[in-house]
């Protein structure tokens, strides 16, 4: 039996989220167990012939170096009796897919933090509009676009293929077969057969499993890049990225020491540049000589939500059930209050959104989360630089929100109510225009500002937001209003917006250009 294997998959996820103590099993927890060591040797001897490179990855990994090589194949791949993904292989009951539950035996803190993070919940995109694009608009056969695109980062719902009686199907090697459109998949929010969410090897790389891999921005760049989330491009453009890419990775003067085993502390082990992991996850030397703890919850230090149509400050709220939720608002909820929140639950092969009411037992306000990020910033910058950066950043987010996002959202919802558009956002040019304004252009602007990337903030961001709003969205809205006999109502609504000081430069052009053309049709 597998040493350290945890019992109930989904139940253990609940324990993880609640921050409870891990349960025990009858499986051995001793890495020096001779039976396990013998199984490891058998695995290695065979796979040296079949998958030599894979074995070499393990032989040069921290796992192989730990406990004199006693953390091997069987320690991680052994399956508990009854595991849906388990199968008998060369006399050992094993499984192919590893989940955070498997990693939790040795990495309890990291697994618990991961379980409550946005990384672990990334698979819930399958209950969002993004997935309508991936599964419907851009797919035909077997959700091909979603399987090859969206799910490779966000994670699939990994399905075990079964016969009519529900028994797992086996391939020619007598291994459990997975639905080929859901596996292979190392998406960070993958829903595993044991009920857990997440994939540790999304960042750490399987069989090597080195911390140094996850420290490097290239690992984050698999998913955090592109038109709607260009964190990688923005970081590369920034002075932080400049400093990292012009430094050497080895240990030494003005170097990153990024391959160091064990802890990697800013101000102690390196000082040349921050990576994504430095700011969002890493340990930092404090002014009193103490070291802040690292975290596998990548959102712990984030104070704005930059993904949503309209950005909001984020307060981390823990409920009596153990659910940990980011609740928006300048004012945080209070301990003891009952609050409503949305929760995603697995239904069949997907996710569904449900509403829950529960008691608040712990709160970390947005300002406290920002203070945690400032601790990292202040290792390299003075107080004025840090505070002034946030003043600039906040101003950009407020400009995006109040000048463009809120008015556009209000006008689009008015168009829906009045019957100008119907169905999903993607049925009409107006809906697609609003989608791209916030989902692509607005995100680029906000992410660019957060990463101090001027080109993404302006030319790939606010410039595109403005062009869309003034020259795509408003003209299309007026055309639809005229076609539906509701032009006076929408003209009045738009003029109320354009009368504000931030839009007055465009008022004359709107009247002489857009409205003149619409009336002439």
pLDDT > 90? residue 13:
no
Q: DSSP character for 336?
A: T
Least confident residue range of 3-17, 249-263, 445-459, 502-516: 3-17
Q: What is the mean pLDDT of residues 181-200?
A: 95
| Residue 454 and residue 466 in contact, taking contact as beta carbons nearer than 8 Å | no
Positive/negative CA dihedral, 417, 420, 423, 429: negative
Q: What is the mean pLDDT of residues 500-511?
A: 95
Q: What is the mean pLDDT of residues 483-492?
A: 97
* pLDDT tier, 392 (very low <50, low <70, confident <90, very high otherwise): very high
| Residue 246 and residue 291 in contact, taking contact as beta carbons nearer than 8 Å | no
| Residue 277 and residue 214 in contact, taking contact as beta carbons nearer than 8 Å | yes
What dihedral do alpha carbons 232, 241, 275, 459 form, nearest 10°? -40
Least confident residue range of 97-111, 337-351, 352-366: 337-351
pLDDT > 90? residue 21:
no
pLDDT at site 23: 32
pLDDT, the chain, mean: 91
pLDDT > 50? residue 16:
no
DSSP β-ladder status, 265-266 and 283-284? parallel
Question: Where in the chain are the domains?
Answer: 225-298, 314-373, 383-520
pLDDT at site 334: 97
User: Alpha-carbon distance 452 to 440, whole Å?
Assistant: 18
What residues contact residue 412 under an 8 Å CB cut-off, 6+ apart?
A: 421, 430, 431, 434
* pLDDT tier, 68 (very low <50, low <70, confident <90, very high otherwise): low
How large a percentage of the chain has pLDDT more than 90? 85
- 3-state secondary structure (DSSP) of residue 108: helix
pLDDT in tens, 112-128: 999 999 999 999 988 88
pLDDT in tens, 126-182: 888 888 899 999 999 889 999 999 999 999 999 999 999 999 999 999 999 999 999
pLDDT > 90? residue 102:
yes
* pLDDT tier, 348 (very low <50, low <70, confident <90, very high otherwise): confident
pLDDT at site 304: 98
Q: Which of 237, 213, 215 is nearest to 225 (CA)?
A: 237
Q: DSSP character for 163?
A: -
Positive/negative CA dihedral, 222, 228, 229, 230: positive
User: Alpha-carbon distance 24 to 5, whole Å?
Assistant: 8
């Amino acid at each position: 039996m597998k040493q350290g294997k945890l019992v109930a998959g989904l139940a253990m996820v609940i324990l993880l989220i609640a921050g409870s103590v891990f349960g025990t099993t009858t499986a051995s927890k001793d890495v020096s167990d001779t039976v396990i060591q013998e199984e490891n040797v058998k695995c290695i001897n065979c796979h040296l012939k079949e998958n030599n490179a894979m074995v070499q990855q393990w032989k040069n990994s921290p796992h192989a170096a730990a406990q004199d090589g006693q953390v091997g194949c069987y320690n991680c791949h052994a399956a508990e009796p009854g595991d849906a993904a388990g199968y008998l292989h060369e006399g050992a009951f094993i499984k192919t897919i590893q989940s955070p539950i498997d990693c939790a035996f040795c990495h309890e803190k990291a697994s618990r933090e991961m379980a409550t993070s946005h990384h672990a919940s990334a698979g819930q995109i399958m209950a969002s509009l993004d997935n309508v694009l991936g599964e419907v608009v851009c797919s035909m056969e077997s959700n091909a676009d979603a399987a090859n695109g969206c799910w490779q980062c966000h994670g699939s719902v990994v399905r075990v293929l079964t016969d009519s009686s529900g028994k797992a199907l086996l391939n020619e090697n007598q291994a459990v077969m997975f639905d080929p459109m859901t596996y292979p998949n190392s998406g960070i929010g993958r829903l595993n057969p044991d009920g857990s969410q997440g994939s540790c090897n999304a960042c750490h790389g399987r069989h090597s499993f080195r911390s140094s891999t996850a420290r490097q921005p290239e690992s984050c760049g698999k998913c955090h890049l592109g038109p709607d989330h260009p964190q990688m491009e923005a970081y590369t453009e920034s002075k932080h990225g400049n400093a990292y890419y012009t430094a050497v990775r080895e240990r030494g003067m003005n170097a990153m020491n990024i391959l160091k085993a064990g802890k990697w502390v800013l101000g102690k082990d390196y000082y040349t540049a921050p990576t994504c992991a430095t700011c969002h996850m890493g340990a930092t030397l404090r002014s009193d000589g103490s070291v802040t703890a690292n975290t596998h919850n990548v959102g712990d230090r984030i104070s704005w939500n930059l993904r949503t149509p309209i950005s909001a400050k984020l307060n981390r709220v823990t409920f009596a059930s153990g659910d940990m939720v980011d609740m928006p608002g300048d004012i945080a909820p209070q301990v003891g209050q009952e609050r409503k929140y949305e929760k995603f639950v697995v239904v069949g092969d997907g996710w569904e959104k449900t509403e829950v009411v529960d008691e608040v037992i712990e709160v970390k306000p947005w300002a406290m989360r920002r203070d945690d990020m400032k601790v990292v910033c202040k290792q390299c910058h003075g107080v004025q630089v840090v505070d002034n950066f946030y003043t600039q950043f906040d101003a950009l987010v407020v400009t995006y929100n109040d000048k463009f996002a809120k008015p556009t959202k209000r006008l689009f919802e008015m168009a829906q109510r009045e019957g100008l558009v119907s169905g999903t956002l993607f049925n009409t040019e107006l809906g697609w225009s609003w989608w791209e304004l916030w989902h692509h252009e607005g995100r680029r602007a906000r992410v660019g500002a957060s990463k101090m990337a001027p080109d993404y903030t302006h030319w790939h961001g606010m410039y595109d937001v403005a062009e869309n709003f003034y020259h795509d969205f408003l003209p299309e809205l007026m055309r639809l209003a005229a076609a539906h006999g509701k032009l006076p109502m929408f003209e009045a609504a738009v003029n109320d917006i354009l009368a504000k000081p931030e839009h007055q430069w465009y008022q004359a052009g709107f009247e002489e250009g857009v409205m003149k053309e619409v009336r002439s049709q």
